[in-house]
Amino acid sequence: MMHERERWQLILTRLRDRGIVRVADLVGVTGASVATLRRDLAKLEDSGQLRRVHGGAESVASGQTPLTAPSFDASQTLNADLKQAVAQGAANLCQDGDSIILNAGSTTWFMAQYLRQHRMQVLTNSFPIAQELISHSMNRVVLPGGELYREAGIILSPFDEDAIQHFAASKMFMSCYSITPLGIIESDPLVARAEAKLLTRTENLIVVADSSKFEARGNMVVCPLTRVSTLVTDTGAPPHMLDHLRQLGVEVILIDPKEAKVLTAA
């Protein structure tokens, strides 16, 4: 028989792939009874991970624009579970009234999903994140000026004068391309510059990265590791890197992707 968590994971995966699931289908896939699956859906709806409809459930992101969907479906297939767990752990660090920064990235985008109940001021250079927050949360949203790049939905500007110079954040959550001993790495120079610019608006840098980010890739250093206050990652991260980070004074928060998924939502 299938375990409760397995079913949940399966339901959410299916939901992400197809946008909609039917109870009848799930019976065939999971082998569980209709009643059990209804309970599952009820719980998942309570924690905001889907919306129930007659006959099954639909993705909370369903009916979203073609912009966010394609640009994130690709990255979603890659370690989506880990990213969600890390994102949820990071979201737990937020409190109502905070002023935070979210840079553009798939992990931060997942994080935005967990901020629906919050009331904060959020500065982000990600168009999809702004969209998500403005339409599904009570947070106030601030955007930097600049050109909106289609593929990634990032707002970038070559200029320094900007309204964000008036923004002061208590925390910044940053996802990245990779983490190496040399620092936080991006692959695109413009993106690296944009993130460096955001970094000037806060003292407290929280890096969110699933364990796959510790493979060395990319070439643009956004900032050294000593700039990082906190790292949120999952238990699959290489221990020697975590030790190194702790020695540099970085607080490391480990999320167990198996447990953290839904439980902390309550």
- Which stretches of the chain bind its own copies, using CB under 8 A? 3-6, 9, 12, 19-20, 22, 53-56, 58, 62-67, 127, 130-131, 134-136, 140-148, 150, 153, 155, 157, 159, 161-166
> What is the closest distance, in whole angstroms, from the C-beta atom of residue 244 to DNA in the complex?
37
How far is 223 from 206, CA to CA, in rounded Å? 12
Under the binding rule (CB under 7 A), the answer on residue 75 touching DNA is no
> What is the closest distance, in whole angstroms, from the C-beta atom of residue 193 to its own copies in the complex?
13
How far is 152 from 113, CA to CA, in rounded Å? 18
> What is the closest distance, in whole angstroms, from the C-beta atom of residue 71 to DNA in the complex?
26
Neighbours of 240 (CB within 10 A): 10
Cβ proximity to its own copies: between 146 and 183 the closer is: 146
Residue 17 CA to its chain's centroid (Å): 18
Neighbours of 143 (CB within 10 A): 18
The DSSP-derived string for 184-200 is EEES-HHHHHHHHHHHT
Find the binding residues for DNA in span 193-232 (CB under 7 A).
none
User: What are the structure tokens assigned to 73, written together?
Assistant: 């479906």
Cβ proximity to its own copies: between 95 and 165 the closer is: 165
Site residue total, DNA (CB under 7 A): 23
How far is 189 from 114, CA to CA, in rounded Å? 29
Find the binding residues for DNA in span 23-62 (CB under 7 A).
23-24, 31-36, 38-40, 42, 52-56
> What is the closest distance, in whole angstroms, from the C-beta atom of residue 5 to its own copies in the complex?
5
Task: State how far the alpha carbon of 181 is from the alpha carbons of 160, 199, 216, 224, 240, in Å.
Answer: 29, 19, 9, 8, 11
Under the binding rule (CB under 7 A), the answer on residue 18 touching DNA is no
Give the DSSP letter of residue 55.
T
Under the binding rule (CB under 7 A), the answer on residue 263 touching DNA is no
> What is the closest distance, in whole angstroms, from the C-beta atom of residue 25 to DNA in the complex?
9
Q: Residue type at 262?
A: V
Q: Are 177 and 186 in contact (CB under 8 A)?
A: yes
Cβ proximity to its own copies: between 140 and 258 the closer is: 140
Q: Which residues bind DNA (CB under 7 A)?
A: 1-4, 7, 22-24, 31-36, 38-40, 42, 52-56
